[in-house]
Amino acid sequence: MKFYNLKENDEQVSFAQAVKQGLGKNQGLFFPKTIPTFDNIEELLALPLVERSVKILTPFVEEDINEQELTDIVTDAFNFPAVLQPISNDRAILELFHGPTLAFKDFGARFMAKCLQTFVAKDAKTTGEQKPLTILTATSGDTGAAVAHAFHGIDNIRVVIMYPKGKISLLQEKMFTTLGDNIETLMVDGDFDDCQALVKKSFDDKELATTIGLNSANSINISRLLAQICYYFEAVAQLSRAKDSLGDLGDIVFSIPSGNFGNLTAGLFAKAMGLPIKRFIAATNVNDTVPRYLETGQWSPNKTVATISNAMDVSNPNNWPRVEHMLKSGIVEKGCVSSVSIDEEQTQSTVIGLGKLGYISEPHAAVAYKALQYSAIEGEFGVFLGTAHPAKFKDVVESILGQPIGLPKELADCAGEPILSQELRANFADLRAYLLA
């Protein structure tokens, strides 16, 4: 299958090219030429996660990755579960945080890393030369950890991660700065915007980009979204298996804690492929560009506001053009996405409310649960996404609940390791010299 640029439709590339390139001309997002559908969804749902995911992904990637390679990639990438936990009779959370960095990003980042590893090895075989590949990314916390762990130990791929010095939590920092090997980390004397600006300048410097083979591994990469489709199928598979104990499921509605709207994009792909999902609720915090847009038709981003669900502090979501395309072109029905904005007070009281139900959550999941409580109607079964482990937001959750929460092994293990980062001034000349050294 080919992927085309949503801005410059004539640009059509293979899956491998779309993954390596990230963005198309004029910063356009890649989108699959067709959305495959399945005749027998029940049969698909009956399969185990890896086998089912191979079937889901095959039509998208088969031009570049054969079935055995894909099976190896998916087996390696999805080596942890997505767990559906019932919260009440008609609510369940899909916990996506059982991977190595305790966040949903592990699914997409690990799949992308394994795909790139395959392409690098194939390119070297065809051309007889090993081309350099450097993943350069800026992080305010979570992405760095998922990318670092996903690429750690992969031959011939160098990873350079920049983050603002002193502006992320020590635990977050330890999760990606203690690995070493092919993972290099730079603490930048500046803020997150400075780090992002340095990444952008590096990509704009064509000579540098070609010399070191730059790729950003960020969340607009189509490979990350395709991987995320698989856990929607897994949720519905687990729901249909649990039907008896969960009572009548009714119509399934997903509530998605949304920032850049990658998770919503993947959910819409799943629906378009035939997965029986009635509709989606895109839950945002007070950074509410999308809920206001769906209500008024006006796209008018406000200045981004800092919240306790900070991974969703986005006012210009970079995946929105994909969602809009699916809604406008009829790939999914227009009415199947609604959006609700949840404020800080509601988020905190929802963390407390879920705690009373016996479930420790963190602010992002709480935003999604609250949005579900607002908009689900009778007969609907609501699933909300748990995008991060509560321990990743330990300070906030402990202060809301007034009780300590334990550290999972993944966090406890790295807490005692030394930080291996180098310092960097927020200065492009210094970064360029570092990258070329």
Using CB under 6 A as the binding rule, the residues of this chain from 342 to 371 that contact ligand PLP are 364
Q: Does 263 bind ligand PLP (CB under 6 A)?
A: yes
What is the closest distance, in whole angstroms, from the C-beta atom of residue 142 to ligand PLP in the complex? 5
For residues 117 and 228, which CB has a smaller minimum distance to ligand PLP in the complex?
228
- Stretch of residues binding ligand PLP (CB under 6 A), selected from 230-238, 257-265, 300-308, 414-422: 257-265
Q: How many other CB atoms are there within 10 angstroms of residue 328's CB atom? A: 9
Strand partners, 254: 280, 383
* Cα 259 from Cα 416, distance rounded (Å): 31
Q: Are 352 and 366 in contact (CB under 8 A)?
A: no
User: With contacts defined by CB under 6 A, how many residues of the chain interact with ligand PLP?
Assistant: 15
For residues 60 and 261, which CB has a smaller minimum distance to ligand PLP in the complex?
261
Q: Does 142 bind ligand PLP (CB under 6 A)?
A: yes
Q: Does 258 bind ligand PLP (CB under 6 A)?
A: yes
* Cα 268 from Cα 324, distance rounded (Å): 11
For residues 65 and 141, which CB has a smaller minimum distance to ligand PLP in the complex?
141
- Stretch of residues binding ligand PLP (CB under 6 A), selected from 171-179, 256-264, 415-423, 428-436: 256-264
**Residue choice 259, 321, 382, 390 for contact with ligand PLP (CB under 6 A):** 259
- Stretch of residues binding ligand PLP (CB under 6 A), selected from 129-137, 202-210, 261-269, 425-433: 261-269
**Residue choice 61, 82, 147, 312 for contact with ligand PLP (CB under 6 A):** 312
What is the closest distance, in whole angstroms, from the C-beta atom of residue 36 to ligand PLP in the complex? 22
Q: Are 417 and 428 in contact (CB under 8 A)?
A: no
- Cβ-Cβ contacts under 8 Å for 164 (sequence gap 6 or more): 140, 187, 188, 190, 191, 192, 194, 195
Max CA separation in the chain (angstroms): 62
Q: Does 394 bind ligand PLP (CB under 6 A)?
A: no
Give which of 19, 301, 260 is closest to 140, Cα–Cα: 260
Q: What is the DSSP string of 160-181?
A: EEEEETTSS-HHHHHHHHS--T
- Stretch of residues binding ligand PLP (CB under 6 A), selected from 61-69, 254-262, 298-306, 370-378: 254-262
* Cα 172 from Cα 153, distance rounded (Å): 20
Q: In what order do the strands lie in the sheet with 214-215?
A: 214-215, 134-138, 158-164, 183-189, 422-425
Please give the backbone phi and psi of residue 356, each rounded to the nearest 5 degrees, phi first: -65, -30
- Stretch of residues binding ligand PLP (CB under 6 A), selected from 36-44, 53-61, 186-194, 258-266: 258-266
Q: Which two tokens stand for residue 428?
A: 């492009």
- Cβ-Cβ contacts under 8 Å for 282 (sequence gap 6 or more): 256, 258, 261, 264, 290, 291, 337, 338, 339, 340
Q: Does 291 bind ligand PLP (CB under 6 A)?
A: no
Q: Does 261 bind ligand PLP (CB under 6 A)?
A: yes
Q: Does 262 bind ligand PLP (CB under 6 A)?
A: yes
Q: Are 378 and 409 in contact (CB under 8 A)?
A: no
Give which of 397, 427, 386 is closest to 104, Cα–Cα: 386
- Stretch of residues binding ligand PLP (CB under 6 A), selected from 50-58, 108-116, 156-164, 251-259: 251-259
Q: Are 156 and 124 in contact (CB under 8 A)?
A: yes
Within 13 Å of residue 227, how many CA atoms lie on the same side as its CB?
30
Helix (H) or strand (E) holding 434: helix 428-436
What is the closest distance, in whole angstroms, from the C-beta atom of residue 310 to ligand PLP in the complex? 9
Q: Does 74 bind ligand PLP (CB under 6 A)?
A: no
What is the closest distance, in whole angstroms, from the C-beta atom of residue 266 to ligand PLP in the complex? 8
Q: Does 223 bind ligand PLP (CB under 6 A)?
A: no
**Residue choice 137, 140, 387, 421 for contact with ligand PLP (CB under 6 A):** 387
- Stretch of residues binding ligand PLP (CB under 6 A), selected from 45-53, 151-159, 171-179, 253-261: 253-261
Q: Which two tokens stand for residue 396?
A: 């906030």
The residues that touch ligand PLP, with contacts defined as CB under 6 A, are 103, 142, 219, 257-263, 311-312, 364, 387-388
